[in-house]
Amino acid sequence: MVKIKYLFTFVCGKDFLNRSRISVIPKDVIFQCIDVYRTNKYKS
């Protein structure tokens, strides 16, 4: 059985490519930071 590993990739692009940043984060870490079940998703 193959275990699938999900990763999130964030890219912060700059005008000069060498100043850009890329971050790759595993799913379990991103869900520690984001509450997908929050009832009030938008702040006033």
What is the chain's percent helix, strand, coil content, to nearest 5? 25, 25, 50
pLDDT value of position 44: 60
Which among 40, 6, 12 is positioned nearest to 25, based on CA atoms? 6
Domain limits at 3? 1-35
Mean of the per-residue pLDDT values of the chain: 82
pLDDT over 90 for what percent of the chain? 2
- 41 in any annotated domain: no
Is pLDDT of 36 > 80? no
- The pTM is what? 0.49
- 43 in any annotated domain: no
The number of distinct structural domains making up the chain is: 1
- 7 in any annotated domain: yes
Is pLDDT of 19 > 80? yes
Is pLDDT of 13 > 80? yes
Residue type, 17: L
